[in-house]
Amino acid sequence: MRARAEAFGAWVRVDDPPALVAVDRALASRLGVDGAAAWGAEAPPPRPLEAHVAVTARCPVACTGCYQDATPDGVAPSFDELVARFDALAREGVFVVALGGGEPLSRDDLPALARAARERGLAPVMTTSGVGLTAARARTLTDFAQVNVSFDGDGDAYRAVRGFDGAALAARAMNALHAAGVPFGVNLVLTRRTFGAVEGTVGRARELGAAEVQLLRFKPAGRGVGAVYLDARLTQAQVAEIPALLERLVRASGLRVRIDCSMVPFLCGRFDAATLEAAGVLGCEAGRWLASVDVLGRRGPCSFYRGEEPGPVAARWAGHASRPPRPCDDCALLAVCRGGCRVVAEHLGDGGDPDPECPRVVAWRARG
């Protein structure tokens, strides 16, 4: 068990079954948590529970909208540099390190990195395209708590998102992980061209043994900016379908269904804040419970934001906490949503404005 005191009590990570649990002060005390500082009059601000750590900027493929702009000869930090970053994150009370890239499988020392994270009390997870993941390689990844494979559909659906047909490679990777007993899920990026195939894609992932599907909003970062982003982002009609789509997937897919924090604004009008909080659905966590470390060791609020420090993006929106802008000021989801995705807001306007693709914001602006 590993614990971190918080104003409400403590976060506690257990390994069997793997879970990060919030407990109140009474239970935290019984578990031996020293909450003297956190339980004082001044509650400390949120600190990252999870950090996205880029272990390489190398990747053998050239996905059209790669948020890291990875290339075959990209930067790759040394093993010792990455371990030093793990040390710093562990000292700060982080529980989970999500290893990404580039393509993490381009590193031969990936199993050793996972072990190093474990030795520091960090639970390692990873996202991969699956390129280069053989059955033998999969058997070396058992220290990972979970591996998520990018899988946007078969054939044309995959190609429409990434610019090449890597569906067979992703399927082979999932078969290898399943055979090796490594828990895995899929990351599915939602774009306007593939939105209609989502349920079929999720069904295929279930057939391949996935335990989870995470639906991701296409974000304007790396190679996915400008015209690429505008061409790929969901239409407002598709955004309006998302709550019903999620309900169908939860009922019929047999998988755990997750959404990334940038999609919470799309749920307005269907779910209330209490329901979302109870389900663990939270909006933008950039610079709060989430942090990132890029290949050069620079800290950021999330892996899609290109600023070197969390201050600019987190503080700009945090400044609205007591005086949120319209139309967020009277929105029932504000406490959960927190104004939507800062990356999208900054790309399409001012990062201090509400998410411009939120249906409520779109309707309010249309009224003038």
**Residues 82-121: tens digit of each pLDDT:** 999 999 999 999 999 999 989 999 999 999 999 999 999 9
Closest by alpha carbon to 359, among 320, 328, 316? 328
pLDDT at residue 308 tops 60: no
What's the CATH number of domain 46-259, 3.30.70.1150, 2.60.40.1840, 1.20.120.340, 3.20.20.70?
3.20.20.70
55 pLDDT tier (thresholds 50, 70, 90): very high
Tell me the per-residue pLDDT of 170-193, one tens digit each, with 9 for 90 and over. Answer: 999 999 999 999 999 999 999 999
**pLDDT, tens digit (0-9, with 9 covering 90-100), for 201-251:** 999 999 999 999 999 999 999 888 999 999 999 999 999 999 999 999 999
| pLDDT at 161 (0 to 100) | 81
Quote the crossing angle between the two packed helices 236-252 and 359-366, to the nearest 10°.
160
Residue whose token pair is 């379908």 = 241
pLDDT for the residue numbered 315: 55
pLDDT, tens digit (0-9, with 9 covering 90-100), for 272-306: 888 888 888 888 888 888 999 999 999 888 888 87
Say how far apart CA 201 and CA 88 lie, in whole Å: 38
Average of per-residue pLDDT values in the chain: 89
**CA–CA distance, 125 with 88 (Å, rounded to integer):** 18
Helical ranges in 79-235 per DSSP H: 79-91, 110-119, 135-138, 156-162, 167-180, 198-207, 226-232
pLDDT digits (tens, 9 = 90+) for 129-179: 999 999 999 999 999 999 999 998 877 878 888 878 888 999 999 999 999
| CA–CA distance, 345 with 351 (Å, rounded to integer) | 5
Percent of the chain at pLDDT > 70 equals 95
Are the C-beta atoms of residues 66 and 118 closer than 8 Å to each other? no
DSSP notation for 227-254: HHHHHHSPPHHHHHHHHHHHHHHHHHS-
CB 239 within 8 A of CB 213: no
Nearest to 43 by CA among 25, 21, 20: 25
> Residue 310: is its pLDDT beyond 50?
no
**Assigned token pair, 79:** 């093993």
Q: Lowest-confidence range among 45-49, 51-55, 201-205?
A: 45-49
For 358, half-sphere exposure in the C-beta direction (CA atoms, 13 angstrom radius) is 30
- Per the DSSP assignment, residues forming a β-bridge with 155 are none
Is the separation of the CB atoms in 343 and 302 below 8 Å? yes
Is pLDDT above 80 for 366? Answer: yes
| The pLDDT value given to residue 158 | 82
User: Long-range contacts for 338-342 (Cβ within 8 Å, ≥24 apart)?
Assistant: 338/283, 338/284, 339/283, 339/284, 340/262, 340/264, 340/265, 340/283, 340/284, 341/217, 341/219, 341/261, 341/262, 341/265, 341/284, 342/284, 342/286, 342/301, 342/305, 342/313, 342/314, 342/316, 342/317
pLDDT attached to residue 307: 61
Maximum Cα–Cα distance across the chain: 59
Q: Helices 79-91 & 110-119, crossing angle to 10 degrees?
A: 30
Where are the domain boundaries for CATH 3.20.20.70 in the chain? 46-259
Q: What is the pTM of this model?
A: 0.91
Question: Please, are residues 127 and 172 in contact by the beta-carbon 8 Å criterion?
Answer: no
d(CA 14, CA 150): 27
* DSSP class of 31: T
Q: How far apart are CA 61 and CA 3, in angstroms?
A: 40
How many angstroms separate the CA atoms of 265 and 259, rounded? Answer: 11
What is the mean predicted confidence (pLDDT) over 49-54?
A: 96
CB 177 within 8 A of CB 133: yes
